[in-house]
Amino acid sequence: MSGPTLRNIGILAHVDAGKTTLTERLLHASGALRIPGSVDAGTACTDDLEVERRRGISVRAALASFEWRGHRFNLVDTPGHGDFAGEVERTLSVLDGAVLVVSAAEGVQAQTEVLWEALAALGLPTLFFLNKVDRVGADLPGVLGQIRRLLTPRAVPLQTLAGAGTDRLLLRDLSDPGDPEAAAGLFEALADLDEDLMEAYLEGRTLPPEELLRRAEPHARRGHLFPLLFGAALDGLGVEPLLDGLVRFLPPAGGDPEAPTSARAFKVVHDPALGRGVYVRVHRGTLRTRDALPLPGREEPGKVTRIRRAGAGRWEDVPALEAGDLGLVFGLGEARAGDALGDPEGLPGGVPLAEPLFSVRAVPPTPEDAPRLLAALRVLSDEDPHLGLVLDRERQEMHLRILGPLQVEILTALLSDRFGLAATFEKPATLYKETLQEAAEGYVEYTLPKPCWAVLRFLVEPGERGSGVVYRSRVSTDDVKLKYQREVERTLPAALEQGLLGWEVTDLRITLLEGEDHEVHSRPTDFAIATPMGIFDALQKGGTRLLEPVLRFALAAPEEAAGAVLGDLLRMRGTFDAPRVEEGVFRVEGTLPAEPCGDYAVRLGSLTGGRGRFSTRFAGYRDCPEEIRAEAPRRSVSPLDRARYILAARGAL
């Protein structure tokens, strides 16, 4: 028998599948909560925001902890809505495993597919929990078929259930005697993964269910096989077997507590009493109070002043957090969500972050409230770096970047609940990007007005969609010293923040072909000032074109609505694969340009009497049709306006 272990787990589900109810049940069953909260009564303790209560959705990750048979679990509540995709991804990256809840009555929904894709992309070990088996209309074989078809053929039930959709439910383990056929599905799935078993399977031998379960463990813990369990969270049915399943089929958190400390920040909060706190996962080493922790991009390390951990049912102060554990850390200064803390070596690969596609202007209730609003927005964008607060000083405007329309609603509620500010938001606008049309050279000779000396020649070429900006230098450090070349590279992101049309410039290959510094007159800032002029020279010669954000969508609706829906999709400039129809349900997948106000889910709902499902996921930027024109106002002087630009850059304007 191995000793007590720790697992960081998340529960994911489509809205209404029963995530909150199940969470409360898990905490309750393990003794961490005395009375299970009820979503319907508004007392669930993991929904920590007033706005969540009002909407009945979970939008912020909250941490709870419980023990089961001596093993400890950190339960991270993941937001379920696509508008918070960045937070979903950041949260998933700290987990050891997940439970994906699917309602046995409603089945796999488009949002379930999106969540599954995120789990699969990270290769996260996952258990399926088929909830609401008590509901009239619960269709176990049907939903299992959907899961296998739409999500993964490697989902395998580890139980049998009789009486689905009635109040005479009988849930049995595979190892319960009485149904020798039940383990056949597991045997078949294992045969695919295990040579030895394949032989036995083909020979028609049978193996005891307990042995099959034992052999399933390592495959499940590696995320190659996905155990499926049944239950009705509302009545607590299937909750204990699920808890046992978590211990058995999800891998424990690992990491050497003696190694140099590596941790990742995954969420920032502002506690009214304790100040700015950072949720972290320690991947290696041990994080202790009074530790000084290197922060990315900052000279000053963060000094840990206090560490809180989610204990069973309440928070507790601890002197240290060991590898594998999650906690809330105070004293880390400006650390932001997503930051690598300490030694970056010990961290698993980077987290792909969703991109905000829209920009929205925040308006204070009165002009006098502007400074307070700015301060509040600074706090919020600190908690969620995606918000990328931009202050347009010339027009005295505050803009935020958002992932979708629901986020505006959440921000409005947050500003009012936490800061007592009745701010409003203007209609969100699409954030376009731009890219180069044709390869061109850009040249800059910045030698006047003295004293300054920087000469650069760039080759700028269009890159593939989604390739971002790739830079390299072919200039020897004899011609341009390394410290100056570093300055060129460091300046590029800022130089590309706004192109000829005012949008971020992307998908470029930039090569520094030639350059010259001056023994006496050059300073690093000369190269920082020259770089945008050289790049803009190339942009102007090659021309730029607009790129628009596109979404990958999945849509399901009753067959009768197919004609109207396909018409809508074409009108919205959608492209899609051949639709599929099965059992009266019509499904189609494809891409759509992201429209800030196009909440198509609402229209689909009215078109299908609420039975349609629509979900989207960011899929990158693609060329915009010629007829669409959009420009964004410049926030700083254009490098093409050479004289004014130089004055502004030297701080003389």
* β-bridge mates for residue 162, sequence order: 170
What are phi and psi for residue 373, nearest 5 degrees? -65, -45
x/- string (CB under 6 A) for ligand GDP, residues 217-236? Answer: ---------------xxx--
Closest separation in Å from C-beta 311 to ligand GDP: 24
Beta strand 155-157 with 97-103 is unpaired
19-29 and 239-249 helices cross at what angle (nearest 10)? 80
Closest separation in Å from C-beta 370 to ligand GDP: 37
642-649 and 524-542 helices cross at what angle (nearest 10)? 150
Measured distance CA(336)–CA(296) in Å, rounded: 10
Q: Which of 93, 131, 485, 615 binds ligand GDP (CB under 6 A)?
A: 131
Closest separation in Å from C-beta 607 to ligand GDP: 23
CA angle 627, 629, 631 (to 5 degrees): 175
Task: DSSP for 400-441, please give it.
Answer: EEESSHHHHHHHHHHHHHHH----EEPPPEE--EEEESS-EE
Query: Binding residues for ligand GDP, how many (CB under 6 A)?
Result: 17
Under rule CB under 6 A, residue 271 binds ligand GDP: no
Closest separation in Å from C-beta 194 to ligand GDP: 34
Burial class (CB in 10 A: 0-12, 13-18, 19+), 544: buried
Length of the chain, in residues: 653
Q: Among 105, 106, 88, 157, which residue's Cα sits nearest to residue 128?
A: 157
Under rule CB under 6 A, residue 78 binds ligand GDP: no
Measured distance CA(464)–CA(633) in Å, rounded: 27
Q: Which of 4, 31, 40, 375 binds ligand GDP (CB under 6 A)?
A: 40
Judged by CB, which is closer to ligand GDP: 108, or 469? 108
Under rule CB under 6 A, residue 13 binds ligand GDP: yes
Q: Which of 28, 55, 135, 372 binds ligand GDP (CB under 6 A)?
A: 135
C-alpha dihedral (29, 35, 36, 37), degrees to nearest 10: -160
x/- string (CB under 6 A) for ligand GDP, residues 16-35? Answer: xxxxxx--------------
Closest separation in Å from C-beta 653 to ligand GDP: 53
Judged by CB, which is closer to ligand GDP: 36, or 255? 36
Name the residue with tokens 């308006």. Answer: 363
Under rule CB under 6 A, residue 169 binds ligand GDP: no
Closest separation in Å from C-beta 330 to ligand GDP: 30
Closest separation in Å from C-beta 233 to ligand GDP: 4
Judged by CB, which is closer to ligand GDP: 40, or 426? 40
Under rule CB under 6 A, residue 15 binds ligand GDP: yes
Under rule CB under 6 A, residue 130 binds ligand GDP: no
Judged by CB, which is closer to ligand GDP: 236, or 385? 236
What are phi and psi for residue 247, nearest 5 degrees? -65, -40
Three-state secondary-structure class, residue 149 = helix
> CA 236 → CA 28, 228, 241, 469, distances in Å?
10, 17, 10, 52
Judged by CB, which is closer to ligand GDP: 81, or 283? 81
CA angle 473, 388, 272 (to 5 degrees): 135
Closest separation in Å from C-beta 13 to ligand GDP: 4
Determine contact, residues 588/569, Cβ cutoff 8 Å: yes
Judged by CB, which is closer to ligand GDP: 89, or 134? 134
Three-state secondary-structure class, residue 289 = coil
Where does this chain touch ligand GDP (CB under 6 A) — which range of 13-21, 321-329, 344-352, 590-598?
A: 13-21
Q: Which of 134, 339, 487, 595 binds ligand GDP (CB under 6 A)?
A: 134
Closest separation in Å from C-beta 48 to ligand GDP: 14
* β-bridge mates for residue 435, sequence order: 545
Q: List residues near ligand GDP by CB under 6 A.
A: 13, 15-21, 39-40, 131-132, 134-135, 232-234
